[in-house]
Structure 1
Amino acid sequence: MRGGVLVVRAGYGATVQDLGRPGLAALGVGRSGAADRGALRLANRLVGNPEGAAGLEMPLGGVELEFGRAATCALAGADCPAWADGRPVAARTPLAVPAGARLRIGTPGRGLRVYLAVRGGLDVPAVLGSRATDTLAGLGPERLAPGLLLPVGAAATGWPAADHAPYRERTGPVLRVVPGPREDWFTAAALRTLCGEPYTVTAESDRVGMRLEGPVLERARGGELPSEGMVPGALQVPPSGRPILFLADHPVTGGYPVIAVVHRDDLDAAAQARPGDALRFRVADGR
């Protein structure tokens, strides 16, 4: 295990993520990358990594790691308890982990995705220029599993000036939307319906997208669309009339009409919503 990070307990759906593979949609390859991009950037800054260095994304935590050599780490994203060799450690603060120590990440009380950065970054093989795991396309590193050894790269930058980051909890977010390319496929009241009542995140949610339960969005016309391009934040509406919010591993094309698109600056907050949480939408200023 010399020099690497050994996965002792893998949690549920934990993956290696960086900032993804932008610019390849024309080839049928989605961006992928961290669902809460701001959280990964923050964790990397705290340990002196480039913002796009590969780290771990851990839905609901539950991960235990053993370090083959001394390392500096930081946790960000959903706030959750963590312990290094049984001693509680703080989030959003650089953490010195000695060689042979075990880091255990608990379960967040609120929020969904916890991020871990290790100084030097996780040096797994890159695929199409990225170390991100795309769960839909099957690209990038394998999901975490017990016994998996994650290599760590050499630190490339100096230390940051700050040793702690302020935190503002993001719960129950109101997500800004702009009308989508197929708004005209819905009744005039549908967008008001979307923005009038809360929608609940269902258990049928993952890195691809979140199925939402709430008021039905009525169509003004029937039929189906030819497949067309999709973007992160698209609110695609299948025949049930209840929207699906596309996240980091969304398909690059889809055939259901998109009534609206969540503002890109609000996607990090959306990615922290867990099943049972309520989301509200409002049309972005300037509509």
Structure 2
Amino acid sequence: MTAKLEILRTGLFATVQDLGRPGHAALGVGRSGAADSGSLRLANRLVGNPESNAGIETTLGGLSLRTSEHTLVAVTGASCPITAGGRAAGPNAPIVLRPGEELVLGTAADGLRCYVAVRGGLDVAPVLGSRSTDTMGKVGPPVLAAGMTLPVGQRVAGPPVVDLAPRPALPEELVLRVTPGPRLDWFTADALSTLESTAYVVTSDVDRIGIRLDGPALRRVREGELLPEAGVPGAMQIPPSGKPIVFLADHPITGGYPVAAVVDERDLDLAAQALPGKRIRFTT
């Protein structure tokens, strides 16, 4: 019998995510996918799935679900308390759920996003080759809500091969590498040194679309605005305030603001885990 997951509680916000749908930007459809793709990849490996299988991304934990069959799951990403069938369980390790048992994630204490993978992957209907929910473009499966039932697929890569994959805690201050952006010439010559001069602080304006930062303003040497331009995850657009906005997985086009720098794709997983109040430094 095919296993199903019943969503009992979503926490603040939860969606189905895989590694996204690249290649459709010309149609106005972004890549989307897990904001912290490394955590989703790890969760899938822990249960013996291909890394690209769909799982659940939840903001600040708070997720609760029930399985209909024997199921193997793993929880990665932001650190949070975990129980499985009422038993304490750990992150970054395979967890066995018996029929009717619940997986419960408490509130995340270190990081912003948790990931739940289930052996076989979530078998929701793909859209343009991906099962990711794009919150900006409204593409893919709906945002999760209590009472929903998710089918579990049968796409596996082999048996699980590790019992635990320890990961370090997030550093007190995140350091993100950047490269000059395509519109750096719209800013003063010291723009990059200003960006590197001190830490920026993540504001409360943060979601899957991007992160708004508070810190030293980048000064413009050109007035006016651009026509909207294509963007990429990590693009740092600078609105009139001069305070950076870093694009994440569900980013739009630029909206007319120049992009002064681009965060290295290797560091986007860290950016995706930045809670409001987190300090971020940039380095070239």
**Is the shorter-chain TM-score for this pair beyond 0.5, marking a shared fold?**
yes
Aligned residues of 2:76 and 2:115 also touching (Cα < 8 A)? yes
Which amino acid in the other structure matches residue 154 of structure 1?
A: Q
- Name the counterpart of 1:259: 260
Task: Give the secondary structure class of the aligned counterpart of 2:270.
Answer: helix
Which 5+ residue runs of structure 2 have no aligned equivalent? none
Aligned residues of 2:201 and 2:279 also touching (Cα < 8 A)? yes
Mapping of residues 200-219 of structure 1, within 5 Å: 200-219=201-220
Q: Once the 2 structures are TM-superposed, how far is the Cα of residue 166 of structure 1 from its aligned partner?
A: 2.3
Which amino acid in the other structure matches residue 35 of structure 1?
A: A
Aligned residues of 2:84 and 2:95 also touching (Cα < 8 A)? no
Mapping of residues 1-287 of structure 1, within 5 Å: 3-171=3-171, 172-283=173-284
Moved more, 186-195 or 266-275: 186-195
CA distance in 2, matches of 1:12, 1:2: 28
CA distance in 1, matches of 2:175, 2:50: 30
Task: Give the secondary structure class of the aligned counterpart of 2:212.
Answer: strand
CA distance in 2, matches of 1:161, 1:68: 25
Q: Once the 2 structures are TM-superposed, how far is the Cα of residue 2 of structure 1 from its aligned partner?
A: 7.1
Q: TM-score, normalised by structure 2?
A: 0.97
Moved more, 115-124 or 246-255: 246-255
Q: TM-score, normalised by structure 1?
A: 0.96
CA distance in 2, matches of 1:250, 1:149: 28
Task: Give the secondary structure class of the aligned counterpart of 2:111.
Answer: coil
Which 5+ residue runs of structure 1 have no aligned equivalent? none
Aligned residues of 1:29 and 1:252 also touching (Cα < 8 A)? no
Q: Once the 2 structures are TM-superposed, how far is the Cα of residue 227 of structure 1 from its aligned partner?
A: 1.3
Aligned residues of 1:60 and 1:113 also touching (Cα < 8 A)? yes
Taking every aligned residue pair, what percent have the same amino acid on both sides?
Answer: 58
Summarize deviations over 1:177-209 as a string: whole Å, max 9, x none: 000000000001221111111111111110000
Following TM superposition, the consecutive aligned residue runs of length 4 or more in structure 1 with deviations greater than 6 angstroms are none
Moved more, 26-35 or 157-166: 157-166
Which amino acid in the other structure matches residue 19 of structure 2?
A: L
Task: Give the secondary structure class of the aligned counterpart of 2:164.
Answer: coil
Which amino acid in the other structure matches residue 273 of structure 2?
A: Q
Q: Once the 2 structures are TM-superposed, how far is the Cα of residue 12 of structure 1 from its aligned partner?
A: 1.1
Summarize deviations over 1:7-26 as a string: whole Å, max 9, x none: 11111111000000011111
CA distance in 1, matches of 2:155, 2:177: 38
CA distance in 2, matches of 1:155, 1:26: 30
Aligned residues of 2:2 and 2:153 also touching (Cα < 8 A)? no
Summarize deviations over 1:53-101 as a string: whole Å, max 9, x none: 0000011000110111110000111111101122110111111100000
Task: Give the secondary structure class of the aligned counterpart of 1:111.
Answer: strand
CA distance in 2, matches of 1:2, 1:158: 18
How many residues are treated as equivalent by the alignment?
Answer: 283
Which amino acid in the other structure matches residue 33 of structure 1?
A: G
CA distance in 1, matches of 2:10, 2:169: 26
Aligned residues of 1:30 and 1:252 also touching (Cα < 8 A)? no
Q: Once the 2 structures are TM-superposed, how far is the Cα of residue 160 of structure 1 from its aligned partner?
A: 3.2
Q: What is the CA RMSD across the aligned residues, in angstroms?
A: 1.2
Q: Once the 2 structures are TM-superposed, how far is the Cα of residue 253 of structure 1 from its aligned partner?
A: 4.4
Q: Once the 2 structures are TM-superposed, how far is the Cα of residue 119 of structure 1 from its aligned partner?
A: 0.1
Which amino acid in the other structure matches residue 260 of structure 1?
A: A
Q: Once the 2 structures are TM-superposed, how far is the Cα of residue 108 of structure 1 from its aligned partner?
A: 1.6
CA distance in 2, matches of 1:276, 1:119: 35
Q: Once the 2 structures are TM-superposed, how far is the Cα of residue 3 of structure 1 from its aligned partner?
A: 2.4
CA distance in 2, matches of 1:254, 1:263: 21
